[in-house]
Amino acid sequence: MRFLKIFSLLTVLSVILYLACFAADDSVYNDVVRMHVIANSDSEADQSLKIEVRDLVLEKYSTVLSGYESKDAALDAARQMLPEIEQDVNAYLADRAAYTCTVSIEESYFPTKSYGDYSLPRGNYTALCIRLGKAEGQNFWCVLYPPLCLGASSAEDGEELFLNCGLTEDEYELMRGEKPVYKVKFRILELFRGEG
């Protein structure tokens, strides 16, 4: 019975420590909008067309979306532009492919990704998703808001840009790799292993 109480207490403490260490990092997921372009297939032509569609959308819409002061405002604007974006991409595809696209805003899982001096942790993000044809090919992703897709942010001007877009100092430091990575350690295990 005593073992069960100790085990339960350690489990609760582990959960509390995990939440305390990592809760601060969760907010970055709520403050960015990703862009996700999924190719029709892995053929060379479809992969090339995916990059062309990416460039088309970034050229026409990323500057517009980067002009907002918060993710919510940028996301509202993106939602209103969905029919226009889909129409533009489909017009581009019309004489280049035998398929069309669908454009939506959705929650998607993204792996850890670096963008020059910046990095975003893996996790679920809100994304402008462009599915080309069957959407069975390799995909492209970047950060649409703040505008990391264009590579316009250097280490010198990045902080001001991100803070103006509503990110906090902690989120900026996390993206720059300046925020310490938390490791949950159990002192008792270290003692048993002779590490302390």
The confidence score (pLDDT) of residue 106 equals: 95
Computed over every residue of the chain, the mean pLDDT equals 75
The dihedral through the CA atoms of 99, 102, 103, 107 has a sign that is negative
Among the listed ranges 86-90, 106-110, 165-169, which one has the minimum average pLDDT value?
165-169
**Span 47-82, pLDDT tens digits:** 999 999 999 998 898 888 877 888 899 899 999 999
Rounded Cα distance, 99 and 40, in Å: 8
Mean pLDDT computed over 112-135:
85
Structural domain spans, the chain: 24-176
Mean pLDDT computed over 123-131:
93
The confidence score (pLDDT) of residue 163 equals: 52
Within a 10 A sphere around the Cβ of 148, how many other Cβ atoms? Answer: 26
The confidence score (pLDDT) of residue 86 equals: 98
Rounded Cα distance, 25 and 133, in Å: 35
User: Model pTM?
Assistant: 0.67
Q: What is the DSSP string of the chain?
A: -HHHHHHHHHHHHHHHHHHHHHGGGGGGGGS-EEEEEE-S-SSHHHHHHHHHHHHHHIIIIIHHHHT-SSHHHHHHHHHHHHHHHHHHHHHHHTTT-S--EEEEEEEEEE--EEETTEEE-SEEEEEEEEEETT--S-EEEEEEETTTTTT---TTTHHHHHHHTT--HHHHHHHHT-SPPP----HHHHHHHT--
**Span 97-118, pLDDT tens digits:** 999 999 999 998 888 877 667 6
